[in-house]
Chains A and B, each alone.
Chain A
């Protein structure tokens, strides 16, 4: 009878550990998926930039510097650690902003269908990056929280789960300040 009790308790503990392990794995997978989602969008923007440069080049003869900056920032994105990517990504965002700001003074360029399409696609991708980053940070927060809460914290240490880093932006409240009126 006592043996039965002991076996029961061992089984329950093993099941609990399996459950905790699986839930941590699930959370970590979500973080990884979220990160690859950012990557997908960064890649998309990476691919769109040459098209933009080609379209804009003919109109903006006197703005070589702005275009060069975008190209340079794009080149630094190719591959690297997370911090490098974050930095390069923020640089591209800034460089693109200045291209579109300069484009305001070129009415012919603004009327160009191809440019309009690229502008919509790039700003769409820009907000997708922001959303992907938001989802990534949400996932990281949940994962890190799970690693710190007892009793998961004990098993997280035993199984060697490590906390993940947030994807930081320069301006925290960026999204709230942007106001686009039509």
Chain B
């Protein structure tokens, strides 16, 4: 699959996620409205809240992620080399303008890209990565991140985060309103069914959301590796960088949490022994596999 097909498919996925988002909001509005006596009111209320939530995440999501990871904007002359590298590779990728560059003060080796489109995007690396990578390895890592930007992975990932955030928020809200809501209404079968569905949704939604998010993230890591290698014309750079990351005893990024883990170039948590369960819930494909593919290029 070529890069332009991938961009088109990512835009489709983004659209699908937005439709799914508002579909879920409407559904929840109906359930809530039914419970409180007016479906129309429920839908309007839920759509209003949903729209506000969506706009906040669309325009403020990247900023929130950067704040959550304690990333600071990189400036010259201290980070001149990093900024020049990012600008150079974004030229190679033909981005309309170079992404902003941020740095996390952390000895771990990691990096991520975020934003809603290539015009409004950013690349973040840890200071540990800057210290331990040579020029070619840094170029490899940056090219991987720029590929995420160019392929619109950043948009899909951000929307996926919005979806998961919403399901967690709403299921919490649903459970509360069932527990503390109006109990004087007549309890016919339909109401009971709705309550049951609401409960099931509330319990399952965050879980399903997580699995969707993870399965999206793993495939695109391979593609970003490949298109990154196409930018630097030097797959070994990224392969060496990944090997360094793998052999680093300190994979932990202090301010990473479950909401931001999928963004990083390698999973920011402690490594555990490989197993099937670990594979299903891991945010990244195994590094050995990615190195093997890069070396075969």
Contact = CB atoms under 8 A, between A and B. Distances in A.
Nearest to B233: A175
Contacts, number: 55
Interface string B225-258: 0000001011000000000000000000000000
Interface in A31-63: 33-34, 37, 41
B189 interface: no
B118 to A, nearest CB: 14
Interface residues of B, number: 18
5 contacts: A117-B77, A121-B84, A124-B81, A135-B93, A180-B136
A127 B94 contact: no
Contacts of B92: 131-132, 134-135
B84 A128 contact: yes
A30 B96 CA distance: 11
**Interface of chain A: mostly helix, strand, loop or mixed:** helix
A139 B94 contact: yes
B197 to A, nearest CB: 47
Given A121-B80, A139-B94, A181 B134 contact: yes
A171 interface: no
Contacts of B93: 135
Given A175-B234, A179-B136, A128 B88 contact: yes
Contacts of A130: 88
Contacts of A121: 80, 84
A37 B135 contact: no
Interface string A129-165: 0111011001100000000000000000000000000
Interface of A: 30, 33-34, 37, 41, 117, 120-121, 123-125, 127-128, 130-132, 134-135, 138-139, 175-176, 179-182
B135 A182 contact: yes
Given A175-B234, A176-B233, A181-B134, A131 B91 contact: yes
**8 closest Cβ contacts across the A-B interface?**
A124-B84, A131-B92, A128-B88, A131-B91, A131-B88, A180-B135, A120-B80, A127-B88
Contacts of B134: 180-182
Contacts of A125: 84
Nearest to B95: A135
B77 A135 contact: no
B94 A128 contact: no
Nearest to A117: B77
B213 to A, nearest CB: 32
Interface string B8-28: 000000000000000000000
Contacts of A34: 94
A115 to B, nearest CB: 12
B81 A135 contact: no
